[in-house]
Amino acid sequence: MSGPLSPLDRPNSYIGRTVPRPNLERLVEGRGTYVSDMTLPRMGHVVFVRSPYAHARIVDIDTGAAKQGEGVIAVVTGAELVEQCSPWVGVLSHLKGLKSAPQHAMAVDRACWQGEAVCAVVANSRAQAEDAAELVQVQYQELEPVTDMRTALEPHIPVIHAELGDNLAFERSLDAGEVDKAFSEADAVAEAEFVFGRHTGVTLEARAVLADWNPGERRLTVYQGTQAPHMMQNIFAKHLALEEAQVRVVCKDVGGSFGIKVHVYADEMATAALSKRLKRPVKFVADRIESFVTDIHARDHICKGRIAVKQDGTITAFAIDDLTGIGPYSMYPRTSAIEANQVVNLVGGPYQARNYRARARVVFQNKNVMCQYRAVGHPIACSVTEGLVDLAARAIGMDPLEIRSRNLIKDDAYPTDSPSGLKFESLSHHASLAKLKQMMDYDGLRAEQKRLRRQGIYRGIGLASFIEVTNPSAAFYGVGGARISSQDGVSVRMDATGAIIVQTSLTEQGQGSEALTAQVVASALGVTLDKVRVILGDTDNTPYGGGTWASRGAGIGGEAAWQAGKALRMNILEVAGTILQTVPDMLDIDQGVVVDKGTTRERIGLDEVARIAYFRPDTLPADFQAELLATRHYVPRQYPFAFTNGIQASWLEVDTETGFITLLNHWCVEDCGTIINPQLVDEQIRGGVVQGLGAALFEHCRYDERGQLTNGTMADYLVPMASEMPDIEVGHVVSPTLESELGAKGAGEAGTAGAAACVANAVNDALEPFDVTITEIPLTPSLILNALGRRGG
Amino acid sequence: MGKHVITLMVNGESHRLEIEPRAHLADVLRDELALTGTHIGCEHGVCGACTIRVDGAITRACLLLAVQAEGAVIETIEGLSDSGEIGDLQDAFRHRNALQCGYCTPAMLITAQDLLLHNPNPDRATIRDHISGNYCRCTGYQAIVDAVETVAKARQTAGERA
Amino acid sequence: MKAYAFDYVRAATLVEALSLLERAGEGGKLIAGGQSLVPALNLRLLAPQILIDIAQLPELRGITSDDTHIHLGAGTRHAELATSALVGQHVPLLQTAIRHVAHAAIRNRGTLGGNLAHADPASELPACMIALEATMLVVGPKGERRIDAIDFFKGLYETALEADDILVRISIARSPAETRVHFNELARRAGDYAMAGLAMVMHGTQPQGLRIRPVFFGIGDRPTLASHAARCLEQAADPMAGLAAAQQALSQDLSPQEDLQADADTRMQLARVLLKRGLTDLLAQGRG
């Protein structure tokens, strides 16, 4: 044996092994239980009457005809539902100056975006509720909408919430180092305005909630597709005037989340309030049209950026001015300031430059609410940073890979920090770059690019280095006053047959939470995977914890599972030691059997340990009590966040006559620390990349000047489909965090962080002979033809 | 606008149902027959999550009125799972992690099986084209293409051996 | 997203369907494959009183051929067209085009007649019908009539069909062996409606005396035969020599529209590129 064993070097460890996820069998057979599949006795279906206007006063609502509709159980206006549900304000105290207005479950006297619910119709079927909803007569007085974020702060523009004084929700400024000096001493300065299309998550199962207030038990059970059941438990209790103990949130199978399902949606709160009001189960499943106007949107940013560079390639400064429009309310409880805040935090993050100035302004507008969606803020920051780096390279005539190589933070420079104050424990930008260069055959592609250009074929290479915030500590939300737990808890117990039951506060929406928990616990204990069953997504039946978001599952919930598994192993070995009359330290567990430590000599099976502990405790010493359940919690303390890093590359072709882009290849090298299940990490990366590619090429919530969403159907809002997506090669560098024993840093969002940036860079690289720079996504054919000046006219 | 009484043959079982003509088949399968493996993602014929087999041909259940399906042979993921017809595809999806949330998966499997029945030896572009009407928001599609390709090859090999 | 309530009746014969349609009056609506109609119903964009199902009418079924023409029942499904040997042999353009129509599951239910009657300006098959000079056999209360494809498509979702007409059959002259056909469309994703598309037929083999029918779709409010452009190509010493003029002439032929996918200028640019690529392809086929 060579070298010391790490704590992870267990007999038959599942850490680092690809094994199929335990929950897939039922899903491939159509036996999943999504909220949209569920029915309960006496269940009503709610349909919301939604404002057709972006901004309108509600003059009158006549529900008389609707109440007579066939199958109608109740018709309830926003004003009436105030009795059951109190309003909220989406602010956090650590985001200084962030302000928002009280938001109700349904609009009370004023609708502030097209799609905001103003009245609810509950009926015996969805179709009946829709029929009756058409009979609700709402009299609106249309108000001037604020739609253009560029002018939202101008004095002649109406203020959406008069009591707030202006349309500015949040502003943050940062000035680090000597920015002016760096720009004045630069050999070249490049600047651009980066424009991002507002887009959304399009979970294939729309948001769904089934609320069941049982007056007999005085308990509210909410079946909900949510990423954070304990957060929702707190919020349902708080706004429906219940104790938390009266609320149970159950999260079964969820048809996609991506951050869309981690927020408090007004219509879901209304559904729970209606259940309480009507004393029966009420179900809401958004239809696709509702999804487009109510699921949070994201990434509606215009960001001006400047970069200063020396002739030798040294980047000396970044400066940005970011503007984002978030809709009429800051979303609850995570707020809509986090995205812009992250942009400020992250721009320039992979690079050594110490001079950095940033301003971000977050403004209200009469469009759907914006909030955190997969890789919050990162795609903006990455596109701005990497776009500027390419512009700097072009300004001094340097190869884009070379300029990155000269400026990325050195792999031996850690721990270090960024000008914005981010603390980096250990990143691997240069190892990642080297690996990428080899995987993609960078030099070979450059040669091919040159050769093809002579034939009039324009291909481009785009690179994007990135960092990704994961494993948030209490610094993210807790310190700001939100009851969103940054810790996770895991209980592991051995049943009377020696099988293992794990309860975790993580949730599963397909990322593999259940699999990673089972793999970690099986490894910590020394049992085979088939003996481990994982229970999650139920506030009554799991330890308290954060859930699954911000790439925190493996790093936080995984570590809690590891610690709980180790603790149970010790407990089991104590029982075994007592039975075998030896010290527990001399024993270990290997494939479900207690063995002499360091050997495979079998001493006693776990089934036998369990049998004795549960059924023949009389054979054990009188002062010995077997404890076959162990619970551990974990939260990172040393660093406010873990950071992962990596680099992506795109190889694509631009048809300069049509403006069409063909993605030919895509690479991602990432460093998420310890890899628990290589296949799951790779597939998180690929899925994340493709969501980023969607933003690059297709996805855009397009509003007109009256605040009407003009493409809110699946036919008009384009997401990536199989034919246009390339195969994606994934490579890894492994720098575990030393803060936990497991060392995992999370992998859920890295793909999304950098994908759009490298596609945009590749397009500009392809169009380099035309001296064209495009800094707007999505990269539509019209946009590209415009930039090329090729118009049919 | 009363209800119509129809007989549907679903997964080999005959069902007599009283339904509104406006009900599309996806709703009737899910609400009347509790066959919730047929998923609904858009109800306007774009996402493909409700894909089932009608008279042997893949069909979007949200675009077929249940009254129109009277007399047709309907097969859903439940039936195809029970019969074992797509067992190899299901295994391959599982081992390749070709599903994450699983919501698109029943329809994706049925669509993949349709391809392999018509074209036993598809290349990757053909696989991508055939599933190009089925949204998957989680995987990025590559794992699905891999899984289908693996099964195509395995069936070819098995066919040659037989 | 549930449709308004409506009634439904399945017609057994064409005569019955016509009488049901007449009796239903304005509230009546035909349904065949339903692949365009049912989304509109689900979205509550339409509120018919009664749907008359003609999907199973025997008179609308079948693909036949005589010495000069191929006859396609309006109820023929896209998937049947795609696999029909007769279609492949005599109107290969249709089989090329059908590969671009939506996705397999849609093609399995959607019918040719439904597609044509829906008259989506971005749809592939209407353009093919004009390029192929198809004739539509329509039956109404006053009996049968034949409408040339060029006269059939009247505008956005508008055709020469009256509310009480039923499209029964489409007849297309069998293409002689030397006829060359080309189909291409520019859609951002496979199966989507095109931002711009071109179905083009070229009759004849000698540079002089060629007859060229370029029909664009997805550009204006209906499929459009670019006759000025065609004349430029036909009258040039060699079609390629007439290309530049033909591309210019497209501005006389086409009225590009702006929508969510592209603005008018982009569409005109795409049309010109499609014409160039189409012509190049047709001429290359001759050399093949």
> What is the per-residue DSSP string for A628-646?
-EEEEEE---SSSSEEEEE
Question: Is the model's pLDDT at A3 over the cut of 70?
Answer: no
- Which run of H or E residues covers position A695? helix A678-697
CA distance A793 to chain C (A): 5
Task: Say whether both B11 and B73 belong to one domain.
Answer: yes
Q: Are A517 and A652 in contact (CB under 8 A)?
A: no
- Averaged pLDDT, A651-663: 98
How far off is chain C from B52, nearest CA to CA, in Å?
A: 9
* Residues of A in Cβ contact (< 8 Å) with B145: 722, 727
Return the closest-CA partner of residue A732 out of A687, A668, A648.
A668
Whether pLDDT at A653 is above 90: yes
Inform me whether the pLDDT recorded for C269 exceeds 50.
yes
Cross-chain residue pair A698–C195, CB shorter than 8 Å: no
- Sign of the CA dihedral C187, C193, C196, C202? positive
Report d(CA A15, CA A38) in Å as an integer: 35
> SS3 breakdown of chain A: % helix, strand, coil, rounded to 5?
30, 25, 45
Would the CB atoms of A130 and C186 count as touching at under 8 Å? no
How many other C-beta atoms can be found within 10 angstroms of the C-beta atom of residue A705? Answer: 9
d(CA A346, CA B87): 46
B70 and B137 in a common domain: no
Question: Chains with ≥3 Cβ pairs under 8 A against C?
Answer: A, B
- Would you say A343 and A361 are in contact if contact means Cβ atoms under 8 Å apart? no
Residue where the block lists tokens 């809709």: A327
- Output the CA torsion sign for A177, A178, A179, A185: negative
Q: Do C104 and B21 touch (CB under 8 A)?
A: no
- Distance of alpha carbon C90 from alpha carbon C241, whole angstroms: 30
What is the pLDDT at residue A400?
98
Phi and psi at C249, nearest 5°, equal: -65, -20
Residues B116 and B152 reside in one and the same domain: yes
Distance from CA of B142 to the nearest CA of C (A): 16
B41 with B64, same domain: the answer is: yes
Last residue of a domain, one of B31, B49, B80: B80
Indicate the residue of B24, B43, B64 with minimum beta-carbon distance to C109: B64
Task: Please say which residue of B36, B61, B80 terminates a domain.
Answer: B80
**Both tokens assigned to A659:** 């403006």
pLDDT at C207 (0 to 100)? 75
Handedness of CA B26, B29, B32, B35 (dihedral sign): negative
How far, CA to CA in Å, does A417 sit from each of A4, A18, A239, A477? 31, 34, 40, 21
Residue B68 and residue B72: Cα distance in Å, rounded?
Answer: 9
The reply to whether B94 and B33 lie within a common domain is: no
Final residue of a structural domain among B80, B104, B128: B80
- What pLDDT score was predicted for residue C286? 73
Terminal-to-terminal C-alpha distance of chain B: 55
Q: Are A349 and A310 in contact (CB under 8 A)?
A: no
What whole-number distance in Å separates Cα of residue B144 and Cα of residue B151? 11
Structure tokens at C132: 């192929």
Domain count, chain B: 2
Look at residue C288 and tell me whether its pLDDT is greater than 60.
no
For the beta sheet containing A661-671, the strands, ordered from the edge strand earlier in sequence to the opposite edge, are A458-470, A642-654, A661-671, A728-732
Say whether A781 and C268 touch across the interface (CB within 8 A): no
* DSSP state string for A323-372: EEE--SS--TTT-SSHHHHHHHHHTTTTB---EEEEEEEEE--SS--B--
Assign a CATH topology to domain A24-32+487-634. Aldehyde Oxidoreductase; domain 4 (3.30.365)
Question: Distances from the Cα of A168 to the Cαs of A19, A606, B34, B141, in angstroms?
Answer: 50, 62, 50, 41
C28-31 and C50-53 as β-strands: parallel, antiparallel, unpaired?
Answer: parallel
Distance from CA of A457 to the nearest CA of C (A): 15
Amino acid at B17: L
Mean pLDDT for A250-258 is 97
Report yes or no: B59 at the C interface, CB cutoff 8 Å.
yes
Residue A419's pLDDT band, with cuts at 50, 70 and 90, is very high
pLDDT at C158 over 70: yes
Interstrand relation of C7-10 and A602-605 (parallel, antiparallel or unpaired): unpaired
DSSP output for A166-191: SSEEEEEEEEES-HHHHHHT-SEEEE
Helix (H) or strand (E) run with residue A777 in it: strand A776-777
CATH number for position B125:
1.10.150.120
CA distance A685 to A731: 10
For residue C203 the two structure tokens come to 């009759």
> Is A363 a residue whose pLDDT tops 60?
yes
pLDDT of residue A11: 82
- Residue in this structure with the two tokens 């978001």, named with its chain if needed: A549
DSSP string, C136-187: EEEEETTEEEEEEHHHHEEETTEES--TT-EEEEEEEEPPPTT-EEEEEEE-
Q: Report pLDDT digits (tens) over A688-722.
A: 999 999 999 999 999 999 999 999 999 999 999 99
Q: Helix A606-615 vs helix A558-580: angle between axes, to the nearest 10 degrees? A: 70
Q: Three-state SS for A274?
A: helix
Asked if residue B64 and residue B118 are part of one domain, the reply reads no
- Give alpha helix (H) positions in chain C: 14-24, 37-42, 78-83, 85-90, 92-98, 104-109, 112-118, 124-131, 149-152, 227-235, 243-253, 264-287
Least Cα distance to C9 among B68, A392, B160 occurs for B68
For residue A724, what is the nearest residue in chain C, using CA coordinates? Answer: C189
pTM for the predicted model, two decimal places:
0.98
If pLDDT is split at 50, 70 and 90, which confidence band does A10 have?
confident
Number of Cβ atoms within 10 Å of the Cβ of A316:
24
Measured in angstroms, the CA of A715 and the nearest CA of chain C are apart by 8
Task: Give first-to-last CA distance, chain A, whole Å.
Answer: 74
Residues sharing a CB contact under 8 Å with residue A673, sequence separation 6 or more, in sequence order: A555, A642, A644, A734, A735, A736, A737, A743, A744, A745, A746
What's the CATH code of the domain at B46? 3.10.20.30
Measured between alpha carbons, how far is C113 from C54 in angstroms, rounded to an integer?
11
User: Is the dihedral angle over the CA atoms A273, A278, A280, A283 positive or is it negative?
Assistant: negative
C273/B contact by beta carbon, under 8 A: no
- Cα-Cα-Cα-Cα dihedral sign, residues A443, A444, A449, A452: positive
- DSSP states along A406-454: HHBPPTTS-SEE-TT--EES---HHHHHHHHHHHHTHHHHHHHHHHHHT
Same domain, B63 and B15: yes
Cα-based distances in Å from A776 to A194, A781, C185? 6, 12, 26
Higher pLDDT, A791 or B128: B128
* One-letter amino acid for residue A338 of the chain: I
From the list C6, C35, C55, the residue facing B63 with the nearest CB is C35
For residue A2, what pLDDT is reported?
43
**% of chain C at pLDDT higher than 90:** 94
Lowest mean pLDDT among A108-112, A222-226, A517-521, A598-602: A598-602
Say which of B54, B58, B67 has its CB closest to residue C8: B67
| Residue-level pLDDT at A476 | 85
Together in a domain, B99 and B139: yes
Identify all chain B residues contacting C190, using CB atoms and an 8 Å cutoff.
129, 132
Give the model's confidence band at C206: pLDDT under 50 very low, under 70 low, under 90 confident, else very high: confident
Token look-up 């998550």 returns A201
The whole-number pLDDT of residue C287 equals 66
Same domain, B73 and B95: no
Give the model's pLDDT for residue A8: 80
Give φ, ψ of C205 to 5 degrees: -125, -30
Instruction: Mention every residue, 6+ apart, whose C-beta is less than 8 A from residue B14.
Output: B7, B8
C150 vs C135: CA distance, rounded Å: 9
> Which one of B5, B20, B22 makes the best mutation probe of the C interface by having the most chain C beta carbons within 10 Å?
B22
Q: Which residues pair with C269 in a beta bridge?
A: none
Close Cβ partners of A460 (under 8 Å, ≥ 6 residues apart): A449, A650, A651, A652, A653, A654, A761, A762, A763, A764, A765, A766, A767, A768
Q: Write out residues 83-112 of B within 8 Å (CB-CB) of C.
A: 111
B82-to-A2, B12, B75 alpha-carbon distances in Å? 51, 11, 11
Q: Do B92 and B156 lie in a common domain?
A: yes
Tell me, which fold does domain A374-473+638-788 have in CATH?
Answer: Aldehyde Oxidoreductase; domain 4 (3.30.365)
- pLDDT range class, residue B159, cuts 50, 70, 90: confident
Q: What's the rounded Cα separation, in Å, for the pair A756 and A550?
A: 19
pLDDT at A792: 52
Question: Would you state the pLDDT for residue A82?
Answer: 98
Three-state DSSP at A525 gives helix
Q: Classify A273 as helix, strand or coil.
A: helix
Range of the domain at B68: 4-80
Q: How many CB atoms lie within 10 A of CB A712?
A: 21
Same domain, B92 and B141: yes
What phi, psi does A555 have (nearest 5°)?
Answer: -75, -35
How far apart are alpha carbons A148 and A260 in whole angstroms?
24
Write the class of the CATH domain A35-147+206-254+260-294.
alpha beta
Burial pattern A121-147, b for ≥16 Cβ within 10 A else e, equals bbbebbbbbbbbbebbebebeebebbb
Is the confidence at residue B34, as pLDDT, over 60?
yes
Domains of chain C, each with CATH number or no CATH: 7-53 (3.30.43.10), 60-173 (3.30.465.10), 180-287 (3.30.390.50)
Chain A residues with a Cβ under 8 Å from any Cβ in chain C: 126-127, 130-131, 287-289, 657-660, 697-698, 702, 710-711, 713, 715-716, 718, 721, 723-724, 780-782, 785-786, 790-793
